[in-house]
Amino acid sequence: MTLTNVWMKLLTSVVLTVAPATFVQTSDRLPLTDAEKIADSLRAGPAFITKNATLRDWPTAPGGEFRVLRTGTSAWTCLPGMPQGTHDEPGCFDLVRVAVPTQFVSERDSHAVNQVIA
What's the CA gap between 47 and 67, in Å, rounded?
A: 22
pLDDT in tens, 32-76: 899 999 999 999 999 999 999 999 999 888 778 899 999 999 999
Q: Does this model's pTM top 0.85?
A: no
Q: In 1-118, which residue ranges form alpha helices assigned H by DSSP?
A: 2-23, 34-42, 47-50, 99-106, 110-117
pLDDT in tens, 28-40: 567 889 999 999 9
